[in-house]
Amino acid sequence: MGAEHWMAVNLSAPGSYVHWNIFTVSVANLVLILVMVVIFGVALLVPFPHRGKDEVEGPRDGDKGASGKEVTLTAVASHDGNGYVTQPGDEKMWTARLRNRGLRLLPPGKLLPDRQPAYVRSWIYVFGVATLAALGVAIVSGFALALGGPDWWHYNPVGHFFNSLHLWSIELFMAFMVIHLWGKFWMAAWRGRRWMTWISGVVAFLVSVIECFTGYVSQQNLDSQWISTSGKDAFNAAGIGSFFNPMNFGQMLMWHIVLVPLVLVGIVGAHVLLVRVRGVSHPLPVRPARGRVARRALAASDAAEWRGPTRRYDILKEAGIAGTVVLVLVVVLASVLSSPNVPPVTVQSWAHATPGDFMATSAAELAGTSETATYGPPYNNNGTPPGSGDVQKIIVSWQQIAGVRQPIDAAKTFVLLPLATRASTDPALRSALNRYEAATKAQQSVWDVAYLKAVSHVTFTGGVPSVPGGDYGPVAVLVAKELTMAQSGALDAALLAQHQFYGTNYTKPLLFLEDGSYFSAVGAKLHLLGTQWGVMNETGGYPGQPWLWLYDLWYQIPGFRTSANVDLIAVYMTGIATILLLAVPFIPGLRDVPRYVPVHRLVWRSWNKGGPASPGPGEPKAAPAQVSGPATGAGQAGSPAGVSGRGGPG
């Protein structure tokens, strides 16, 4: 019994789609995005729970000390007593210097803190650890899949269940990461020399997209076929298609399970350490700082280490709870919704489903008129100069600079070489091949063009093709034999067998499939075309990859979508948007948006309205804070958070 019978809700049924203006989005994608927005909104609005006993210790900025003077908390705490003593003479040792520097930057009290600033009281703060928890489940479920091998989950119900765990852990990981990124933007979390924390978080998101992409194209099903053939044009246009080939299953699988995870875990680890070193960003002031003096004072306050009230914080307990909740969610989603697994299109299934289209495509390969035959780099030079074939150029042509790295002669690769493997046992085929190869290029072209026109009128009697009479030379025999070979399944094997050793590079069979009409017809039926936002979509009703909307957007814009350079436009525009996202901390105006759009008031509303709950029995009650006028900037300079104390407007 297949794993699909375990599903309580069948998302493998045809999906539903909504079209508005230039946008087309699947209902599943829309539901996922709306759920993320709702979660974000709930996290902003729902009060953060706390115990009856107030756990806050230490004065707030603005409280009055014993002398009656207002307390200003700007000093940076020192961290001593780590238990490490460098022996005399060892100070210059590399190990001692590195250890001492590490302890200065990240003492145990920061690495595993048991207290945190009292303003950290919002659900928005939870999504960082939730992202890490989902990543942990994704890694462990990936280990389980590795035990059975890359195709285990296609035929084994247990393997399919682990694949479902992996899918939904990734969906939660990316959703939580995006919500975390939203929260940090509206909190302006790059303040106080925390720009590296922001950049490392954005880079972790970008690497996660690459990790998800390589995972999708490693599935060996219809989704992976479609995403790889669609995505290869952007990589080819950028000149890296021969070095990062999404149609090479073996390469993508190794990137997915080895290279990218190592980079991702390293960057995520660095991001977490940066958070521990620099601390969480202080609350934004209720009112934006006015004047240069006030802004400078606020910047200095943001960079200072928090010296205000704190609350208990059990980081390991929080991680354990988050991990448990995420695991339960993943198991429920995997059990109820399973994961998509539409079988791939093969040359054999194509030849059986639409033999006429297969024969027309084979004839086009011989005639040199197919998409692959006229593509250009990295497959051949037939698409040069830019503007012809699929060679794209904006200022420069990266395809031409990269050159031909995966040579493909369409006629030989897709027709003549595969047929040659059967010629020794088929005298009629051997004779037709010998006659075709002995003819001049001009004669071959005459035969090819004549047959290409006639094959559009092919008819079948008992499965045997028949075309109108004409001077086609041996071409009619070659194409008919190719059809027989394809329908037997031998052509699939022959195209892969052109590589030595085990065949994991599906570039040739996928390019051959893409040259025909059947493959695109299947994609259109499942709403996977580029004009249907197909790179984002998944087969059936599954969410797919909504985080790729920025890349897919450029293919929907009038003017862009009809351009011969649309793939290069999408690469350039996505690259520019990515650079802007990375550079947010340094771009005046853009970095100030969170100050003037007061979403941050919802994050820190408990703090702005007076801070933590009332103190417990026997604990002192904090004095009301003093609100300083914004014109002088005094209230901003004295507060490490830039907040004008308790009782300020929320």
Per-residue pLDDT tens for 392-450?
A: 999 999 999 999 999 999 999 999 999 999 999 999 999 999 999 999 999 999 999 99
The predicted pLDDT at position 630 comes to: 35
The predicted pLDDT at position 1 comes to: 46
Is pLDDT of 67 > 80? no
Mean pLDDT of 23-49: 91
Mean pLDDT of 585-604: 94
DSSP per-residue letters across 338-392? ----PPPP-HHHHHHH-HHHHHHHHHHHHHT-STTTT--TTT-STTTTTTSTT--
- Please state which of the ranges 20-34, 317-331, 453-467 shows the lowest mean pLDDT: 20-34
Q: Which residue has the higher pLDDT, 2 or 563?
A: 563
226-232's contacts with Cβ under 8 Å and 24+ in sequence apart are: 226/523, 226/528, 226/534, 227/535, 228/252, 228/506, 228/510, 229/510, 229/511, 229/513, 229/514, 229/519, 230/528, 230/530, 230/534, 230/535, 231/535
The predicted pLDDT at position 514 comes to: 97
The predicted pLDDT at position 51 comes to: 56
Is pLDDT of 79 > 80? no
Q: How confident is the model at residue 64 (pLDDT cuts 50, 70, 90)?
A: low
Cα separation of 293 and 296, whole Å? Answer: 5
How does the average pLDDT of the chain come out, rounded? 86
Domain boundaries defined on the chain:
3-57+115-306+323-342+580-596, 347-372+408-525
What is the gyration radius of the CA atoms in the chain, in angstroms? 31
Q: Which of 399, 419, 437, 413 is nearest to 568 (CA)?
A: 399
Question: From the CB of residue 480, how many other CB atoms can be counted at a distance below 10 Å?
Answer: 20
Is pLDDT of 643 > 50? no
DSSP per-residue letters across 409-446? -HHIIIIIHHHHTTGGG-HHHHHHHHHHHHS-HHHHHH
Q: How confident is the model at residue 80 (pLDDT cuts 50, 70, 90)?
A: very low
What one-letter code names the amino acid at 543? P
Mean pLDDT of 194-207: 97
Per-residue pLDDT tens for 225-249?
A: 999 999 999 999 999 998 999 999 9
Contact between 570 and 555 under an 8 Å Cβ cutoff? The reply is yes
- Give percent of the chain with pLDDT exceeding 90: 66
The pTM (predicted TM-score) of the whole model is 0.85
Q: How confident is the model at residue 20 (pLDDT cuts 50, 70, 90)?
A: confident
The predicted pLDDT at position 59 comes to: 58
Q: How confident is the model at residue 491 (pLDDT cuts 50, 70, 90)?
A: very high
The predicted pLDDT at position 23 comes to: 84
Q: How many helices (H) and strands (E) does the chain have?
A: 29, 6
Does the domain at 3-57+115-306+323-342+580-596 match CATH 1.20.810.10? Answer given as: yes
Q: Which of 598, 17, 579, 532 is nearest to 230 (CA)?
A: 532
Max Cα distance, the chain (Å): 110
Question: From the CB of residue 488, how many other CB atoms can be counted at a distance below 10 Å?
Answer: 13
- Please state which of the ranges 18-32, 86-100, 486-500 shows the lowest mean pLDDT: 86-100
Q: Which residue has tokens 């006629």?
A: 411
The predicted pLDDT at position 500 comes to: 59
Per-residue pLDDT tens for 50-59?
A: 655 445 655 5
CA distance readout (Å), 137 to 230, 243, 284, 343, 518: 29, 31, 34, 26, 38
Cα separation of 553 and 530, whole Å? Answer: 10
Q: Which residue has the higher pLDDT, 630 or 283?
A: 283
The predicted pLDDT at position 76 comes to: 38
Question: From the CB of residue 26, how many other CB atoms can be counted at a distance below 10 Å?
Answer: 25
Mean pLDDT of 337-343: 94
Is pLDDT of 610 > 80? no
The predicted pLDDT at position 48 comes to: 85
Is pLDDT of 598 > 80? yes
Cα separation of 383 and 376, whole Å? Answer: 4
Which of the listed ranges 72-86, 103-117, 377-391, 562-576 does the model predict with the highest average pLDDT? 562-576
- Give percent of the chain with pLDDT exceeding 70: 85
The predicted pLDDT at position 614 comes to: 36
